[in-house]
């Protein structure tokens, strides 16, 4: 699924540009277009209390990634090694791809 407004997709490498996790980067695990949020691997861990289920398991605290506002992340260009703005280009076959506006690196391969 694509968040058209922000051009960020699952498996993209992104960097957090705002908030508590600013400067960290990771892969996008999930996109929530309706909430304009993205879940990023190993970023924005929050502690959650899990309730015990029956008598088998004990309740406790688990750490889990929480989604971040997509407006607080930018696509990270591995060539430029920094967050970049995205441009679009039509490649052979008429396919529209996302490219780095700085170096022209194609993100959709
Ligand atoms: Zn680049």
Distance 103 CA to ligand 1 centre (A): 4
Q: How confident is the model at residue 56 (pLDDT cuts 50, 70, 90)?
A: low
Tracing tokens 């679009």 back to the chain, one arrives at: 88
Indicate the SS3 state at residue 44: coil
* Residues within 5 Å of ion ligand 1, judged at the Cβ atom: 77, 79-80, 100, 102-103, 105
Provide the pLDDT for residue 35. 93
- Whole-number Å distance between alpha carbons of 108 and 7: 11
Distance 82 CA to ligand 1 centre (A): 8
pTM value is 0.81
Bridge partner list, 60: 50
Distance 37 CA to ligand 1 centre (A): 24
- Whole-number Å distance between alpha carbons of 91 and 80: 21
Distance 101 CA to ligand 1 centre (A): 7
Name the range with the highest mean pLDDT among 6-10, 25-29, 59-63: 25-29
Reported as a single tens digit per residue, the pLDDT across 11-50 is: 999 999 999 999 999 999 999 989 999 999 999 999 888 7
Picking from 68, 62, 22, the residue whose alpha carbon sits closest to that of residue 41 is 68
The pLDDT > 90 percentage for the chain reads: 73
Higher pLDDT, 44 or 4: 44
- Residue 94, pLDDT > 60, answer yes
Provide the pLDDT for residue 69. 95
Picking from 74, 71, 69, 96, the residue whose alpha carbon sits closest to that of residue 85 is 74
Indicate the SS3 state at residue 30: strand
- Whole-number Å distance between alpha carbons of 15 and 27: 9
């Amino acid at each position: 699924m694509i968040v058209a407004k922000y051009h960020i997709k699952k498996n993209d490498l992104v960097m957090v540009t705002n908030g508590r996790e600013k400067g960290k980067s990771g892969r996008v695990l999930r996109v929530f277009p309706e909430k304009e949020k993205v879940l990023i691997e190993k970023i924005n861990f929050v502690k959650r209390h899990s309730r015990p289920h029956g008598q088998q398991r004990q309740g406790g605290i688990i750490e889990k990634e929480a989604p971040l506002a997509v407006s607080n992340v930018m696509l990270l260009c591995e060539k430029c090694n920094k967050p970049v703005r995205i441009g679009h280009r039509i490649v052979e076959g008429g396919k529209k791809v996302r490219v780095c506006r700085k170096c022209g690196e194609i993100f959709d391969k």
